[in-house]
Amino acid sequence: MDPDKFIAIMQKWAAAYAPSGISPVPEMQPRHFAQLNMPTLVFRSGRSDLSHTRATSEWVHRLIPHSLLLEPPWDDNEWNRRSAQTMAGTDGHTLFRSWPKLVPAIVDFLVSNP
């Protein structure tokens, strides 16, 4: 691949993942969040989760009118622990092994917001 083309592609990808001072989601402006009018459930990220920061989940909650912010049904270090186990191949499961624990909160939310 041409080096200049490769660099341009990598910079484009990096820009898509780069943090923004005005929005927690690349290419989504605060006004886009404000236009969401459906019931929205946001699970708060753990304090120790560097991949999905707590600040990001709280920011999304603040930007979406009438959203509900809940603590996830696992401890603060869940994502980091699962990531390490998956990378090491020690548990035979994926990162998302605990996600079924979200079901009761999601069902309650759906029942409360038909």
- Across the chain, mean pLDDT equals 84
Whole-model pTM: value is: 0.72
Handedness of CA 88, 42, 33, 37 (dihedral sign): positive
Could you give the CA distance from residue 44 to residue 53 in angstroms, rounded to a whole number? Answer: 9
31: helix, coil or strand? helix
Q: How many CB atoms lie within 10 A of CB 86?
A: 16
Mean pLDDT across the stretch 46-66? 86
Domain boundaries, the chain: 1-28, 36-112
Mean pLDDT across the stretch 102-114? 93
Strands 41-43, 68-70: pairing is parallel
